[in-house]
Amino acid sequence: MTLLAAAQADFPLHMPVIVAGGGACGLVAALAAHDAGAEVVVIERDPVPRGSTSMSLGAVCASGTADQRRLGVDDDAERFAADVMEKTRGTADLALARTVGQLSGEAVDWLREAHGVELSLDPNWPPAFGHSRMRMHVSPGRSGTDLMDRLLAACDRAGIPIVTSATLESLFVEGKRVTGVRYARPDGSREDIGCGALILATCGFGGNHAMIAKHIPAMREARYFGWEGNQGDGILLGEAMGAALADMDAYQGLGLLAEPAGIDLNPRFLIEGGVQVNRLGQRFSNELDDVSGQGARVIAQPGSMAWVIYDERIHRSCFDLPQYVALREVGGVQSADTLDALASRAGIDPAGLAETLAAIPHGEADAWGRRFDTPPLAPPFHAVRVSGALFHTQGGLAIDTGGRVLDEEGNPFPNLLAGGGAARGISGRGPSGYLPGAGLSSAIALGLACGRTAATLA
Ligand SMILES: Cc1cc2nc3c(=O)[nH]c(=O)nc-3n(C[C@H](O)[C@H](O)[C@H](O)COP(=O)(O)OP(=O)(O)OC[C@H]3O[C@@H](n4cnc5c(N)ncnc54)[C@H](O)[C@@H]3O)c2cc1C
């Protein structure tokens, strides 16, 4: 990752807007710049754009959408921002939280109306884990792969070129202005393009072990279950230009990575009344208060493992989830008619499990503050063994509400923008500020902001 003097450049091609990174943020930014009248190109490291977006459950939290209004959900950017500030204990950037609240809704409606990318409110995701309103939106295929396919098809229809197998490695700069980029090809050759504005959408640094050890040392040894190509390249280039970094210790973890299949289990199993126990059959937390921090809690259990225990009602209610279908196909779900048999099959202490389930108070809060308003678990029972993992980093380049990267003094660079995992998100500090759906929400909302701003600057 290097900076080169603009005087060294001899660009064979100049594009008003270049987007580096073809995940949800980059593709939405490209569509937004295109709709605002700018010619735009996306450069993407991989032969096929996939990114963390394709690994995700594809669930986007968004407020003030047409779908919410249609279903009578009273939500807006202020309520969204209030939830963010409460979940992050005031450590998130309020202006950014309001912007994501506002633009997430706008983006969901605009993607559907202008580009045929369907994202609908999912009534199976009740408000939980810090959301006070039903605001999770999913594409028809209910997966990140499906969302990526739809965004790529939209770019194709819009005639937006995507240069694949092109790894951004250097910026040409003149003072604080970016005049162009250099990217590397798999055969070792290099190509340069000049630009009017550059959007960094290269995601976070989860795949960069040295950066994790520096910024999130507590997760240094944790399994990383995000896109390996997310090496923090955009963040490192911005930093080299003198950009400020923010919330670098923030991350999205999850304690629901099914083992050994490596498939993430939807939090719906817990929302619907399931529990998480350790090898001794004991619960160890309020499973519904911190979807991200639960990753570290699972890692802290004996053997760094836990099990999600649920019943037939929950099992059947999750048949629509493609990840669950895949998990069942590979034999990742243990089932039995009695708790005792389930515990023996799964390798959990039977007496501990029976005692734990018998102790759940229905209709009132338990020792960790969780209220079970769902029916008591009834046979037959099911179990999935899970581990905790680091999914996605949440800190990055400091930006203003238009996506412009800020320097150490808080001044925007003239034509450098960032969004999605490359920019600071709305999760505040540490592991516990992450709200479900906030990763894609930031990617899409800030992609929209960056695309619009870049078109104006270019
Ligand atoms: C297992 C898992 C489940 C998740 N589930 C959810 C969920 O349900 N809801 C939610 O909101 N969030 C979820 N997340 C988080 C979400 O996936 C991310 O927040 C989001 O995808 C980030 O989008 P992005 O466009 O910034 O990054 P990405 O989608 O990762 O795209 C970045 C792109 O940049 C490319 N790139 C990197 N470096 C370079 C370079 N130097 N040059 C060119 N290209 C480069 C990469 O190849 C990649 O294609 C999940 C994450 C994981 C790992």
Q: Return the SS3 of 144.
A: helix
Percent pLDDT > 90 in the chain is 93
Give the residue among 351, 270, 269, 277 at the shortest CA–CA distance from 318. 269
Q: Using the Cα atoms of residue 310, residue 313, residue 319 and residue 325 in order, give the sign of their dihedral.
A: positive
Q: Return the SS3 of 105.
A: helix
How far is residue 397's CA from residue 234's CA, in Å, rounded to a whole number?
A: 8
Please tell me the distance between residue 77's alpha carbon and the centre of ligand 1 in angstroms. Answer: 24
pLDDT digits (tens, 9 = 90+) for 183-196: 999 999 999 999 99
Predicted confidence (pLDDT) at residue 97 exceeds the cutoff of 90: yes
Q: Residue 363's pLDDT is what? A: 82
Domain endpoint, select from 372, 390, 408: 390
- When pLDDT is averaged across residues 313-333 and rounded to a whole number, the result is 95
pLDDT digits (tens, 9 = 90+) for 437-453: 999 999 999 999 999 99
Residues 307 and 288 in one domain: yes
Please tell me the distance between residue 257's alpha carbon and the centre of ligand 1 in angstroms. Answer: 17
User: Mean pLDDT across the chain, nearest whole number?
Assistant: 96
pLDDT digits (tens, 9 = 90+) for 326-376: 999 999 999 999 999 999 999 999 999 999 999 999 888 999 999 998 999
Residues 318 and 183 in one domain: no
CATH of the domain at 345: 3.90.700.10
Residues 369 and 286 in one domain: yes
Partners of 85 in beta bridges? none
Please tell me the distance between residue 10's alpha carbon and the centre of ligand 1 in angstroms. Answer: 32
Please tell me the distance between residue 51's alpha carbon and the centre of ligand 1 in angstroms. Answer: 5
Residues 212 and 361 in one domain: no
Q: Residue 174's pLDDT is what? A: 96
Residues 166 and 228 in one domain: yes
pLDDT digits (tens, 9 = 90+) for 221-269: 888 999 999 999 999 999 999 999 999 999 999 999 999 999 999 999 9
Concatenate the DSSP letters of all residues of 178-221 into one string. Answer: EEEEEEE-TTS-EEEEEEEEEEE----STT-HHHHHHH-GGGTT
Report whether the peptide linkage leading into residue 380 is cis, meaning its omega lies within 30 degrees of zero.
yes
pLDDT band at 303 (very low <50, low <70, confident <90, very high): very high
Pocket, ligand 1, Cβ cutoff 6 A? 20-26, 43-46, 49-53, 55-60, 167-168, 201-203, 225-227, 229-230, 233, 252, 264, 391-392, 420-421, 437-441, 443
Number of domains in the chain: 2
Residues 34 and 127 in one domain: yes
Residues 172 and 314 in one domain: no
pLDDT digits (tens, 9 = 90+) for 48-82: 999 999 999 999 999 999 999 999 999 999 999 99
How far is residue 260's CA from residue 216's CA, in Å, rounded to a whole number?
A: 25
- Do the Cβ atoms of 211 and 232 come closer than 8 Å? yes
H-only helix segments in 50-162: 51-55, 66-70, 77-87, 94-115, 144-158
Residues 40 and 141 in one domain: yes
How far is residue 315's CA from residue 333's CA, in Å, rounded to a whole number?
A: 10
Phi/psi for 253 (5° steps) reads -105, 175
Q: In angstroms, how far is the first alpha carbon of the chain from the final one?
A: 24
Residues 201 and 297 in one domain: no
Residues 377 and 263 in one domain: yes
Q: How far is CA 216 from CA 213, 293, 371, 381, 431, in A?
A: 6, 13, 32, 37, 9
Residues 115 and 226 in one domain: yes
Domain endpoint, select from 331, 364, 390: 390
- From the alpha carbon of 226, which atom of ligand 1 is closest? 53
Domain that holds residue 432: 2-250+394-457
Here the tokens at position 165 are 């197998």
Domain endpoint, select from 344, 375, 390: 390
pLDDT digits (tens, 9 = 90+) for 121-158: 999 888 988 999 999 999 999 999 999 999 999 999 99
Residues 21 and 48 in one domain: yes
pLDDT digits (tens, 9 = 90+) for 162-210: 999 999 999 999 999 999 999 999 999 999 999 999 999 999 999 999 9
- When pLDDT is averaged across residues 421-432 and rounded to a whole number, the result is 95
CATH of the domain at 167: 3.50.50.60
Please tell me the distance between residue 456's alpha carbon and the centre of ligand 1 in angstroms. Answer: 26
